[in-house]
A and B are shown apart, each in its own frame.
Chain A
Amino acid sequence: MTRALVVDSYTVADVDSVVAKARRGDPSALEALYRAFEVPVYNLARRICRTVEDAEDVLQETFLEVARSIRTYRGDGSLWGWIRAIASSKALMKLRRNKYRDTDELHEEVTAHRRDDHLLRMDLEAALDRLPDVSRAVVWLHDVEGYTHAEIADMMGKTTSFSKSQLARAHVRLRRWLGEEVKA
């Protein structure tokens, strides 16, 4: 079960009516859904994917899926929760498809020239961006979107332990890169 960390603040006027019209394939209703959720979907995609192009692809694929599957939305959860699950799945699929660097070893190779910069304080955006792709996805899905480890594991086809360890390792790195280590 998803914790209610993200407020369902993305509103569509008369949501039931819009969803009903979207189910019939009404383009104006589909556009209303797109306009209402475009930014949160893109933001999630951009935080998970490495490039702007991939995030834009995820945005498009998400709303194509919304248009295709809106008949299956029963209204028993929040609309944003339903759309967000589609967007998360598409973004993770994009990660897998593009075979982004997703192992720590490779990531360390890629960033080896920056190993000595631990004394530099990075801002949070830069530190997040520097994380390996899978770690960054776990951080975003867990800490920001509010998914549980079990849900993340399910979406990624991994174990709960994998999700937990990715999160812990990511936070160790973020702590170091942000200069937030507590002096013993």
Chain B
Amino acid sequence: MSRPASTAPHLTMDRLLAVMEPASEPGHAAARAHLEGCAHCQSELDRLHQRTARLRALPALKPERDRWPDVRRHVAARQLRRRLVWGSVGGVALAASVAVIVLLRPAPLEMEAVHDPQAEIEAAMLQSQLLERALAEYAPERRVTDGYTAGVVAELEDRISALDEELQIFEPTPSSAASNDLLRLWRERVGLMDALVDVHVTRASHVGL
């Protein structure tokens, strides 16, 4: 035989919250019955409703500065990247030949004597594209990620985006200094892309994907 509501223990917060849920949960009916005869708990429930309503009525906070220009720059840089990957620089045969070069040279972009900066730049661009393709085929967006990996990936992607912005605004001149600057940027990009692929693949092996 159940105790009258006036002598039964008051409802705990989690039971009050359960009463507010739209779906019926175990103990829902008993809690409702208690509320019928307990002014204290009814008052708690009313205050809970009011507090929730006040939370919803809090004013919307607005950003102090416009982030759209930053978003637009990043999107443009990404679109450029995509064009570079799928676009104009090389055909399949050329990419395949570079792949052979890459395979034969484990660290092809380690600084050696640069005999032909333009050729080195093109090789770096193609290597970057191959890494982009490898990453695209891996489809990391469809895989589970843990917080730490997500942080590392986000940082690498941010750095790649920043680098792409630099590449986008880079104005080549015939000077060798400009070629070396461009080569440095592309080498840096390859290094970051390589790290990004590595992080994704390492993460996947950890979680067994």
B-binding residues in A (CB < 8 A): 3, 5, 25, 27, 30-31, 34-35, 38-40, 42-43, 46-47, 52, 55-56, 59-61, 63-64, 67-69, 93, 96-97, 124-125, 128, 139-140, 143-144, 164-165, 167-169, 171-172, 174-175, 178, 180, 182, 184
B17 touches A125 (CB 8 A): no
Whether B56 contacts A93 by the Cβ 8 Å rule is: no
Contacting residue for B43 out of A3, A55, A61, A182, CB 8 A = A182
Given contacts A64-B75, A182-B44, A168 and B147 within 8 Å (CB-CB): no
CB distance from B12 to the nearest CB of A (A): 7
Q: Are B51 and A171 in contact (CB under 8 A)?
A: yes
Closest chain B residue to A172 by CB distance? B13
CA distance A94 to B150 in the complex (A): 10
Q: How many A-B residue pairs have CB under 8 A?
A: 111
Write 21 A-B pairs (CB below 8 A) sorted by A numbering: A27-B72, A31-B72, A38-B68, A39-B63, A52-B64, A55-B61, A56-B63, A56-B65, A60-B70, A63-B71, A64-B75, A67-B78, A93-B151, A96-B147, A96-B150, A97-B147, A97-B150, A124-B51, A143-B52, A169-B13, A175-B48
Residues of B within 8 A of A43 (CB): 60-62
B71 engages A60 (CB within 8 Å): yes
User: Within the assembled complex, what's the spacing in Å between the Cα atoms of A140 and B52?
Assistant: 10
Specify which of A5, A40, A175 is in contact with B60 (CB 8 Å cutoff): A40
Question: Chain B 60-92, CB within 8 Å of chain A: the 1/0 string?
Answer: 111111011011101110110000000000000
Interchain CB contact under 8 A, B79 and A5:
no
Kindly state whether residue B154 has any CB partner on chain A within 8 Å: yes
Question: Cβ of B3 < 8 Å from any Cβ of A?
Answer: no
- Taking Cβ atoms with an 8 Å cutoff, the residues of B that contact A are 10, 12-14, 17-18, 22, 40, 43-44, 47-48, 51-52, 54-56, 58, 60-65, 67-68, 70-72, 74-76, 78-79, 141, 147-148, 150-151, 154
> Given A60-B71, A96-B147, A97-B151, are A42 and B47 also a contact pair (CB < 8 Å)?
no
| B154 contact set on A, CB distance < 8 A | 61, 97
B22 / chain A contacts, CB cutoff of 8 Å: 3
Q: Contacts of B76 on A, CB cut-off 8 Å?
A: 27
**Partner among A52, A67, A165 whose Cβ is within 8 Å of the Cβ of B75:** A67
Distance between Cα atoms of A151 and B48 in the complex (Å): 22
Q: Is the CB of A143 within 8 A of B63?
A: no
Q: Which 7 A-B pairs have the closest CB atoms?
A: A96-B147, A168-B14, A97-B151, A168-B13, A43-B60, A46-B61, A42-B63
Whether B51 and A178, one on each chain, are in contact in the complex, defined by CB atoms closer than 8 angstroms, is yes
Q: Is the CB of B61 within 8 A of A42?
A: yes
Query: Which residues on the B side are within 8 Å of A5 (C-beta)?
Result: 56
Residue in A34, A128, A165, A172 whose beta carbon sits within 8 Å of that of B55 in the complex: A128
- Closest A residue to B60 by beta carbon equals A43
Question: Whole-angstrom distance between the alpha carbons of A140 and B40 in the complex?
Answer: 26
Complex contacts, B18 vs chain A, CB 8 Å: 164
Contact A125 B58 (CB under 8 A): yes
